[in-house]
Amino acid sequence: MKSDSVKKGIEKAPHRSLFKALGLTDEEISRPLVGVINSANEIIPGHIHLNTVTEAVKSGIRMAGGTPIEFGCIGVCDGIAMNHIGMKYSLASRELIADSVEVMATAHAFDALVAVTACDKITPGMMMALIRMDLPSIVVNGGPMLPGKLGGRSLDLIDVFEAVGQVKTGKMNECELNALEDAACPGCGSCAGMFTANSMACLTEALGMALPGNGTAPAVSAERVRLARRSGIAVMELLKRDIRPSAIINEKSFANALAVDMALGCSTNTVLHVLALAQEAGAKVTMKTIDAVGARVPNLCRLRPGGTHYLFELHEAGGVHAVMNELAKAGALQLDVVTATGKKLSANIKNAKVLDRNVIRPITEPHTPTGGLTVLWGNLAPEGCVVKSSAVAPSMMKRRGRARVFDSEETAYDAILGGKIKPGDVVVIRYEGPKGGPGMREMLSPTSAVVGMGLGEEVSLITDGRFSGGTRGAAFGHVSPEAASGGPIALVREGDTISYDIPAKKISLEVPAAELKKRAAKFKPPAKKIKTGYLGRYADIVQSAHLGAVLKQP
């Protein structure tokens, strides 16, 4: 066992003395030591119940003959961090989480790991670490929040964001807004739609790093606790059989995860995280890989914000494994991959059934023949950009409009709320990329304001930053190269014409090449927005969004 390096032999008597200071007995010390990473805190709704989930995991480990040892990690609530400087730290926190888990797992010689996680950057950050450490591991998510209720209407956080624009246009008063904010988020769990947190929980299950039900069982359910206990038992079986992430995660399992991504219509942020995970695993996954999967896999589900269904409804309809069973009928999955159950995917999905065809369409009757995400290319985004096409109105799938150019989220948001954006405008928000932001802010406030003000089928948004998993409408993010690196988005001027065609996967700045060359010759990189602290260092070493916004390696 790896932990023998800190507990076996007379030379390790001092180490054992420290374990005994924790209250551990000789019997507990002699067993496999399993690190349980608990990301619980009191600021993220998706994490406030994770102590309960973690205790269930630890119970399962003990039942199976291991000794669980809990430690924590940081987490950012994207909703609370939204639309101020705090959001610059959200994506950047992913790298800190991965590094901190590596530090703890290596320094204390754990034999196996369980990641108890929830929410946007915590899940991929922990996954990056599990791949890097390559110890027998399993992921346990905290589960989705239930939707709120008000006057018989189901609600989630996005309703509150969009209501701000409605108040600004007089469609709602502040008293109604207050009632909405009281009701929209009824308790613990990741926000109730197919936003980034739940997208990553579902993809973790699809990758094979979590047990069936991980992505969809509600946070408040006893099923979530039972799943956590079974996960504790399962990690001990993985340890016994020496099944590590390197045996589970590869090009085949990434292809499966991307197929599920397209079928579900997940967050555009999954593109960043899948690319980052693939780099950790040494797997060949690129923007072109994602584009190719999207072209062959149909969209079977329309979940919030691309539809009306919530995560609990996907769970009741059969969950991720039922979706995978449906995809398997069309040969869209690699069924011979190993999973955290210790079995191959074919065995896991064999008995999974679709229980509600309103939520999960048959493979023969999809919403669209292509996936829920679309990668676009063109002279505005030579290295690609991404849109959640399943959340775009049919009337907005192809457009041509006047560029309204802003060099920050704040100036764009003020212009939208100030009524300065008109139907047909294409809002360009730049210098918000990984390097230029720094931190590639997620911009739910501007997109929600556009929808709330009744412009959702009239105005498009384009950015080298990110849009939320809760964003709906023609919002194109991750434009690469970013403005701070001299990408073409830095050359756009107020009044230029921008066109896009989502079905054709094209996005263009309609300016002659000779003119763009002149503009490029005059371009000067802007000064760093933040020069000190973590973000100052991050801006110096972060790579492009088309590479997953990972840090440069030495």
For 353-373, how does the pLDDT look when each residue is reduced to its tens digit (9 = 90+)? 999 999 999 999 999 999 999
- C-alpha–C-alpha distance, residues 193 and 404, integer Å: 30
User: How crowded is residue 366: how many other Cβ atoms within 10 Å of its Cβ?
Assistant: 18
Instruction: Tell me which residues are annotated as active site.
Output: 468
3-class SS of residue 225: helix
Quick check: 150 pLDDT over 90? yes
Sign of the CA dihedral 41, 43, 45, 46?
negative
Identify the pLDDT of residue 289.
97
- Please state the rounded mean pLDDT for residues 80-88: 96
Tokens describing residue 353: 């059934």
Identify the pLDDT of residue 268.
97
- C-alpha–C-alpha distance, residues 139 and 54, integer Å: 11
For 332-343, how does the pLDDT look when each residue is reduced to its tens digit (9 = 90+)? 999 999 999 999
3-class SS of residue 389: helix
- C-alpha–C-alpha distance, residues 13 and 15, integer Å: 5
Percent of the chain exceeding pLDDT 70 equals: 100
3-class SS of residue 216: coil
Quick check: 141 pLDDT over 90? yes
Identify the pLDDT of residue 160.
97
For 190-201, how does the pLDDT look when each residue is reduced to its tens digit (9 = 90+)? 999 999 999 999
Nearest CA among 34, 239, 209 for reference residue 136: 239
Cα 485-491-493 angle, rounded to 5 deg: 145
Q: How confident is the model at residue 554 (pLDDT cuts 50, 70, 90)?
A: confident
Contact 363, 326 (CB under 8 A): yes
- Please state the rounded mean pLDDT for residues 135-157: 97
Q: How far is CA 532 from CA 465, 535, 536, 539, in A?
A: 21, 7, 5, 10
Quick check: 132 pLDDT over 90? yes
Identify the pLDDT of residue 193.
97
Contact 112, 135 (CB under 8 A): yes
- Please state the rounded mean pLDDT for residues 195-208: 98
Q: How far is CA 452 from CA 141, 167, 417, in A?
A: 31, 8, 10
Q: How far apart are the first and last CA of the chain?
A: 30
3-class SS of residue 247: helix
- C-alpha–C-alpha distance, residues 68 and 31, integer Å: 10
Quick check: 11 pLDDT over 90? yes
Q: What is the mean pLDDT of the chain?
A: 97
- Kindly compute the dihedral angle of the four CA atoms of residues 196, 200, 206, 212, in this order, to the nearest 10 degrees: -100
Contact 426, 398 (CB under 8 A): no
To which H or E segment does residue 70 belong?
strand 67-72
Identify the pLDDT of residue 144.
98
- C-alpha–C-alpha distance, residues 411 and 430, integer Å: 11
The number of residues in the chain equals 554
User: How crowded is residue 262: how many other Cβ atoms within 10 Å of its Cβ?
Assistant: 29
For 54-63, how does the pLDDT look when each residue is reduced to its tens digit (9 = 90+)? 999 999 999 9
Identify the pLDDT of residue 188.
98
- C-alpha–C-alpha distance, residues 479 and 382, integer Å: 8
Contact 361, 346 (CB under 8 A): no
3-class SS of residue 173: coil
Identify the pLDDT of residue 335.
98
Identify the pLDDT of residue 456.
95
String of b and e for 434-455 (b: at least 16 CB within 10 Å)?
Answer: bbbbbbbbbbbbbbbbbbbbeb
